[in-house]
């Protein structure tokens, strides 16, 4: 049964979509079956995967709000090497509709329950806010990957997200865990980066991934070509960083399985 990862941080501009697209691509390179769910009405993961969000016949909105079947919506992306449930601005309507539904917090979990055995990993790109869409993603997920920049307001935003994760764990999804904290747009020469880095490790210890994602022009350019950076420039520092992240994530999962079986 596939592991479901929500890529979440209510702060914008921290590399959520970049991480979602490139982690999905990097996991697929390791021969894992991967589904990427774009759960952000901006549809950036959809565009960054080579789909035109303005030309979608059906999107994840149609599954959430109109009961469209998975087979009608899923896109197999041969260039990117993963499957995708795409999104566009229609998803804004879902957020309003979810507020009124009895199953408003568990709608996505119900959708994923029927398909998770088809994949090794299901990656959800969350919107940059703690809204009903993000709550649906956290309720559906086994683990949360939190991308963040090492900057002044980062830890403040992180504490709000931790409170939300704690509340969801307590009320609806007791198995939800913080998968890891990923430092993005990392510049070790910056004094503030070093300070926030130190605070992260003192608060969270081994939860912080050893892998860091540097500022990288190829990583920034790849979405405009509708490709993960691995398909755009596999020698770039950004591509190497996300391959390393996938490797670290898989190692952690293997170690956790060994502890459970041992």
CATH assignment at residue 192: 3.40.50.300
pLDDT band at 102 (very low <50, low <70, confident <90, very high): confident
Domain housing 124: 3-261
- pLDDT for 155: 80
Burial grade of 66 (CB within 10 A; 0-12, 13-18, 19 or more): exposed
If you compute the radius of gyration of the chain from its CA atoms, what whole number of angstroms results? 17
Tell me: pLDDT of 262 over 80: no
Nearest-angstrom CA–CA distance, 124 and 111: 13
Count Cβ atoms below 10 Å from residue 115 Cβ, excluding itself. Answer: 16
pLDDT digits (tens, 9 = 90+) for 208-238: 999 999 999 999 999 999 999 999 999 999 9
Burial grade of 85 (CB within 10 A; 0-12, 13-18, 19 or more): buried
- Cα distances (angstroms) measured from residue 101 to each of 95, 127, 169, 223: 10, 20, 21, 35
- pLDDT for 190: 81
- pLDDT for 256: 84
Average pLDDT over residues 27-39: 97
| Of 54-58, 59-63, 68-72, 190-194, minimum mean pLDDT range | 190-194
Longest dimension (CA), the chain: 51
Average pLDDT over residues 100-113: 92
- pLDDT for 19: 98
Tokens of 161: 């997200």
Prediction pTM value: 0.96
pLDDT digits (tens, 9 = 90+) for 120-160: 999 999 999 889 999 999 999 999 999 999 887 778 778 88
pLDDT digits (tens, 9 = 90+) for 153-195: 778 778 889 999 999 999 999 999 999 999 999 888 888 888 8
- pLDDT for 164: 92
What is the average pLDDT score of the chain? 93
Collapsed DSSP state (helix, strand, coil) of residue 8: coil
Nearest residue to 76 (alpha-carbon basis) of 18, 33, 26? 33
8 A C-beta contact, residue 91 and residue 133: yes
pLDDT band at 72 (very low <50, low <70, confident <90, very high): very high
C-beta contacts of 233-239 below 8 A and 24+ residues apart: 238/22, 238/213, 238/214, 239/22
Domain count of the chain? 1
List Cβ neighbours of 144 (8 Å cut-off, separation of 6 or more).
Answer: 5, 6, 7, 8, 138, 165, 176, 177, 178, 179
Q: Which residue has the higher pLDDT, 35 or 12?
A: 35
Nearest-angstrom CA–CA distance, 86 and 90: 11
């Amino acid at each position: 049964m596939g592991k479901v990862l929500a890529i979440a941080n209510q702060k914008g501009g921290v590399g959520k979509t970049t991480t979602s697209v490139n982690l999905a691509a990097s996991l697929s390179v390791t021969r894992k079956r991967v589904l990427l769910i774009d759960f952000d009405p901006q549809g950036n993961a959809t565009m960054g995967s080579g789909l035109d969000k303005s030309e979608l016949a059906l999107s994840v909105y149609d599954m959430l709000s109109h009961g469209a079947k998975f087979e009608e919506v899923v896109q197999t992306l041969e260039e990117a090497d993963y499957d995708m449930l795409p999104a566009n601005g229609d998803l804004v309507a879902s957020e309003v509709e979810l507020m009124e539904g009895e199953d408003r917090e568990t709608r996505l979990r119900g959708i994923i329950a029927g398909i998770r055995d088809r994949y090794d990993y299901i990656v959800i790109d969350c919107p940059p806010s703690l809204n009903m869409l993000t709550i649906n993603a956290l309720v559906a997920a086994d683990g949360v990957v939190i991308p963040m920049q090492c900057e002044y307001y980062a830890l403040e935003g992180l504490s709000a997200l931790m409170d939300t994760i704690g509340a969801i764990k307590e009320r609806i999804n007791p198995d939800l865990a913080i998968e890891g904290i990923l430092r993005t747009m990392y510049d070790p020469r910056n004094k503030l980066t070093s300070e926030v880095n130190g605070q992260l490790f003192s608060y969270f210890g081994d939860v912080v991934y050893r892998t860091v994602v540097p500022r990288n022009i190829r990583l920034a350019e790849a979405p405009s070509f509708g490709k993960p950076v691995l398909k755009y420039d596999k020698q770039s520092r950004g591509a190497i960083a996300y391959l390393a992240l996938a490797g670290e994530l898989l190692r952690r999962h293997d170690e956790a399985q060994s502890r459970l079986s041992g």
